[in-house]
Amino acid sequence: MEDGSRTIYSVKTSMTKAIWETRLSEEDEIISGPFLRPRQMLSAQEYGGHLSIHDDDQAASLGFSGAPIEGPTHFSQFDPLLHKIWGNEWFECGCISTHFKNMVIEGEEVQALASKPSEGAKSTRIWALKKTGEIVLEGTASIGPDHPETELDRIMRSRPTPSNLVILEKVKIGDRSSTGIPVKISMDQHLGNNYPFTLNEKLNKITEYCDWYRPETAINSPWGKAIIPMEMVNPLVSFSADFLPQAKQPSIGLFADLEIKMIKGPLFVGEEYLLQREIVGLGESRRTESMWLKTSIQSFKTNELVASTLLNSAVLKDSYASYDKEAKELGKI
């Protein structure tokens, strides 16, 4: 449908039923979704014996105006756009690779945007904005099987590896899990203190709901069973223990960058997978220390690599009470 200079359409499959009731707009080679209000679901998140930055009091103690919504929550707003561009390939071999720039507090509205790629292109730029114009995240979206360079490939290549980290003193590049860690997500499975909700509860609040996410309606999907939303892949790989060296506690962390890559997807609800984790990079800024954790997701039945994630998890220096003392001992300050 034409609306002035804009093209407006709903996202549909080859069948008659829309899988999202999302009105997308296209203008000046940019596809955009509507402004939506993502919901906070991590206010009760706990790790290291304390609440996380998603708790209002913890956020205020670190100088933030409110508890931020977890970055991957915004990924769901891109699914209708990227499915419009690449169809079912987006679920099967799509990759979203983003740098988080500004926090979103519950009640704020966010819009997802993507550059319209040329015909046959395998990659495009994506970004999300608040109504104020402030950038929430930016990065790339692409499809495989031979994925082009991603946003996080570029970022990792451009940043030096620091030495003498304080909070991450025990974390080393090359640290990896010794055995495959079995995981799965079922509809009513509680995901523990790190993700204190179920998939069913998430789907009741997700910004862009799709019938392919629930077993009772996913029978009409191309795969005949429910798929795990992109924004829930990080909870899949994060709610189980990995026994890798961690940040010293008590300290507060946040996501700086995240990439989710499907290789032979999608991932399915209730299906078991094996995880292999490895520290592939370290970083430091004025306010944070960070570690890059790559997680390979394998089929439990065949050991075949089906997906991966790359997370740059940053720890706030101000949240670790002994930072200045230990930094002086290491000669950093």
Q: Can you give the pLDDT at residue 15?
A: 34
Confidence of residue 247 (pLDDT cuts 50, 70, 90): very high
pLDDT band with cut points at 50, 70 and 90 for residue 280: very high
What is the reported pLDDT for 224?
Answer: 96
- Predicted local distance difference test score (pLDDT) of residue 301: 95
Q: What CA–CA distance (Å, rounded) separates 267 from 228?
A: 6
Q: Which of 8-22, 125-139, 226-240 has the lowest mean pLDDT?
A: 8-22
Q: For a pLDDT cut of 70, what percent of the chain falls above it?
A: 94
- Asked if 46 and 54 count as a contact pair (C-beta separation under 8 A), the reply is no
Q: Is 2 exposed, middle or buried (0-12, 13-18, 19+ CB in 10 A)?
A: exposed
Mean pLDDT of the chain: 91
**Per-residue pLDDT, 308:** 98
| pLDDT tens-digit readout, 47-79 | 777 778 888 888 788 887 888 899 999 999 999
Residue 75 per-residue DSSP state: G
Domains and CATH numbers, the chain: 2-329 (3.10.129.10)
Predicted pLDDT of residue 184: 96
CB 145 within 8 A of CB 122: no
pTM comes to 0.92
DSSP state of 118: P
Q: Which of 257, 255, 266 is nearest to 307 (CA)?
A: 266
